[in-house]
């Protein structure tokens, strides 16, 4: 609909996750009206990130070096590994400032429907990390949904023979949430996991 | 929250219209997992579009040349100008294939609240285009909202002394819409503008 290159940009932007044709058009027009300097900054960052950022050899988190900043940080508790599905989860947990151990990013969750099995995840790498007896506790922080639960159950079974404490994040009512609007499963979990007040 | 450059990209993406911090993060991670070739294509297109695409000297539509492809097309009706707020509106109208005249992009609408007056829009350029008596009809296709109506009213008053037919796009029920769910103002307009069946 637009002169060549503008339409090309709209098409390309529309391939990004969460960007529909309308947003792609809005972004393209925004670009046209943005100072040239800012646009080249974004354009440069895109290729730079793609070139420079890799995944941590040990935990699978995003990293500019062979090991990510968390794996390199010797002050972090080396005896504690939190297993997550995705590098985005690492950032979410880091924001809580509650966790001082290391991470292991699986790169997804077991999902027979999408054809993702344990061999498609970084499970073998986790086993290797656990082999030297440094780690005392593995926290399974996969998502509280079908695939995440299946993955946690699989890992829990796999690790059961090792002398390691396996834990799972608590499920329950979201803080600030409204009991009335909680779905039954969440509410059920909240009862199951109730603590003495 | 992320190692330097990834966070920089997330921040930069978060400045785009309609992209919140969560989407910016999703897009950044998508970029990390996209083939290098596709990322450089996007990165290249961004700077190319910014460098090459300008606005048409005559109508204000996006264009890679001094005049846009519509203004250059001599088969289009030179006696008919459709006035729109934004270059995005040109594309919306072109998709209908109903209109074969030329456009004039105002670059916004009159909005006292946002401090946009007639002098901030391409009104003077419109007057210049109308001076040589080629144009016989001006269609005011500003948005059917407060600012758009004010802009249309202003232009209508301004052009009234010239020997030009001034028209406004019809307001009414959207095709495929449901009468029951139409707001009162739209429904009122549909009655006002009723035609013999």
Q: Give me the CATH topology for the region A74-196.
A: Dna Topoisomerase Vi A Subunit; Chain: A, domain 2 (3.40.1360)
A196 min Cα distance to partner chain B (Å): 35
Alpha helices by DSSP H, listed for chain A, are: 4-13, 21-32, 36-52, 69-72, 87-96, 123-130, 146-159, 184-192
pLDDT tens digits along A40-78: 999 999 999 988 888 999 999 999 889 999 999 999 999
Q: Which residues pair with A168 in a beta bridge?
A: A140
Q: Which of B8, B30, B50 faces A16 most closely, judged by CB atoms?
A: B30
Q: In CATH, which of 3.40.50.720, 3.40.50.300, 1.10.8.420, 1.10.3720.10 is domain B4-52?
A: 1.10.8.420
Please, which residues 49-68 of chain A have a Cβ atom closer than 8 Å to chain B?
49-53, 62-64, 68
Q: Could you tell me the pTM of the whole model?
A: 0.73
| Average pLDDT value for residue range B41-49 | 91
Q: Nearest 5 degrees, angle CA A103-CA A105-CA A108?
A: 150
pLDDT at B3: 66
Say if residue A196's pLDDT is above 70. no
Mutate to test the interface with A, among B33, B47, B89, B96 (most CBs of A within 10 A): B47
**Residues recorded for chain B:** 197
Q: In angstroms, rounded to a whole number, what is the distance separating the alpha carbons of residues A14 and A24?
A: 5
pLDDT at A85: 93
pLDDT tens digits along B110-165: 999 999 999 999 999 999 999 988 999 999 999 888 899 999 999 999 999 899 99
B117 min Cα distance to partner chain A (Å): 19
pLDDT at A43: 92
Task: List the single residue in B with minimal CA-CA distance to A31.
Answer: B50
Please, which residues 140-169 of chain B have a Cβ atom closer than 8 Å to chain A?
none
Looking at chain B, which residues constitute the CATH 1.10.8.420 domain(s)? 4-52
Say if residue B196's pLDDT is above 70. no
pLDDT tens digits along A107-151: 999 999 999 999 999 999 999 999 988 999 999 999 888 899 999
pLDDT at A127: 95
CB pairs under 8 A between A and B: 139
């Amino acid at each position: 609909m637009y002169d060549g290159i503008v339409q090309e940009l709209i098409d390309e932007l529309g391939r990004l996750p969460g960007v529909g044709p309308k947003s792609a058009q809005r972004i393209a027009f925004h670009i046209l009206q943005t100072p040239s300097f800012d646009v080249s900054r974004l354009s440069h960052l895109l290729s730079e990130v793609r070139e420079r950022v890799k995944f941590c050899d040990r935990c699978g988190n995003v990293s500019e070096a062979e090991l990510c900043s968390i794996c390199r940080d010797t002050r972090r508790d080396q005896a504690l590994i939190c297993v997550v599905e995705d590098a985005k989860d690492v950032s979410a947990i880091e924001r809580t400032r509650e966790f001082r151990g290391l991470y292991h990013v699986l790169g997804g969750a077991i999902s027979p429907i999408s054809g993702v099995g344990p061999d498609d995840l970084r499970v073998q790498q986790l086993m290797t990390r656990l082999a030297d007896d440094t780690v005392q506790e593995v926290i399974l922080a996969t998502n509280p949904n079908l695939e995440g639960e299946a993955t946690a159950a699989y890992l829990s079974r796999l690790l059961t023979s090792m002398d390691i404490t396996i834990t799972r994040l608590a499920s329950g009512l979201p803080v600030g949430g409204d009991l009335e609007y909680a779905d039954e499963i969440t509410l059920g979990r909240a009862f199951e996991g109730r603590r003495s007040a």
